[in-house]
Amino acid sequence: MKSTMKLLTVSLISLSSLFFVACSDSSDTNNDSEAAVESTEQSDSKLTTSQEDGAMQQAKADEKSLADDNTPKTEITFDESSYDFGNITKGDKVNHTYTFTNTGSEPLIITNAKASCGCTVPEWPKEPIAPGEGGEIPVVFDGRSVGTQNKTITITANTNPPKTRLTIRGKVGEAES
C-alpha cells in the first residue's frame, strides 16, 4: 500500500510538473517573440527598462508560484556551479556538462533550464530524479560574439529556493587570418 501511494504521489507530481512546464512554455513563447521584436531595434547586449521590469516580474511570479505550490521540496547539489572554458575563437562552440545529485528526500523535478542569452543552450532531464540519484545538464555555448563572456543558466526545480544558478564563462577572440 505504501509503495502504491508513493508511486501515485510521484505520478501526480510529474503530471503537475508537465502542466506547469506547458503553461510556462506558452508564456515564454510570447515573451520570447516580444523580446525578439524589441531586440531587432536595439543592440543584443542591452535590455530596455521595460524588458528588465518584465523579466523581473516574470522571475518573481515564477518563484512565488513554485514557493506556493504543494510539491514536496528536495535539494539539488551540483558537482560544480561554474565552468570557465578559457579562450576560444569566434564561431567555436563549447560543450560542458554540469552533473548533479538529488541530495534531498523527495523526487527532484526540474521544470526548466534557461540561459541568460540565446548563445547558450541547456538541456535537462524531464523525468523525476529519485533521492540519492543524479543527472546531467549539458550546455552548449556558441561563441558568436568577441569579448569576455559570462552567461547564467537558471535551473528551476522543486527545491528551496526554487532556482539554482550556474555560470559558464570565458573569452572569445577574433579568428586569426
Q: Which CATH number fits the domain that encloses residue 7?
A: 2.60.40.10
pLDDT higher than threshold 50 for residue 34: no
pLDDT at position 176, please? 80
pLDDT higher than threshold 90 for residue 59: no
CA dihedral sign of residues 10, 15, 21, 24: negative
pLDDT higher than threshold 60 for residue 48: no
- What is the tally of structural domains in the chain? 1
Backbone phi, then psi, for 79, in 5-degree steps?
A: -65, -35
Mean pLDDT, the chain, whole residue set: 76
- State how far the alpha carbon of 42 is from the alpha carbons of 45, 47, 48, in Å: 8, 8, 9
- For the full predicted model, state whether its pTM sits above 0.85: no
Percentage of residues in the chain having pLDDT higher than 70: 60
**Structural domain boundaries enclosing 142:** 2-173
Average confidence (pLDDT) over 100-116: 97
